[in-house]
Amino acid sequence: MTQQTEFEGFTPATTPLSGLRLMRQCDQDHRGLTRFESCHFGVPCRRRLMSIQFRFYFDDPGERRSGFDLGHMAVEGGNASVSSQREGRSMMVFIAVVNLLDGVRRFLDDTQARRYRFVGADSSFQIEFTKLGERDELRVAVGSVEIGQLRRGELVRALLDGASQFTDQYLPHLPQSDSVRGDITSALSEFLTRHRQLS
């Protein structure tokens, strides 16, 4: 059977019964959002990639903030959802956002780097990003829990969305004199400038 890499307009209704069975069997081997391509079964299947969300937040809704306030980070995907709050590992969340944006930016720019491990500021909460071979895909995991796999551009968009929502909500409550204010604004700007084409 001829291998193909793209199946525009493919639906199970137009698939031979044998192929549909194989597709369903193969569908169990993959995770995340559906993308049609061929797999090791040699038939059109749903090799699953995923969307992901990053959320940064505080326990209390206080109207006055410090750059060193403790808060939480949540990573949510098709395979699993993990948060530092559930694991009891709070972090200096403003600084954590800065470190995550800067760390992922450098990781994506470095063609030699295969893995990047983010550690929350003043916390043991960790997220590991792994590049998968030569493909434009990455694996995201928190400890032994795989959140899923996604494309480089999807990761960029997810980080920009999460960081932008966080700064929109909480940056107005950070004093102008707080040095972290400039750090997070700069980190977000640099990340956006460097990866605008992917977002």
- 127 or 38, greater pLDDT: 127
> Residue 81 burial (CB < 10 Å; 0-12/13-18/19+)?
middle
Note the pLDDT of residue 2: 36
Sequence letter at residue 98: V
Residue 62 CA to residue 81 CA, distance in Å, equals 26
Tens-digit pLDDT profile for residues 98-108:
999 999 999 99
Tens-digit pLDDT profile for residues 137-194:
999 999 889 998 999 999 999 999 999 999 999 999 999 999 999 999 999 999 988 8
For 115, list phi and psi in degrees, rounded to 5: -145, 140
Q: What is the mean pLDDT of residues 107-123?
A: 91
Note the pLDDT of residue 32: 36
Give me 188's structure tokens: 């977000």
1-10, 33-42, 142-151 — most confident range: 142-151
Tell me if the pTM is above 0.85: no
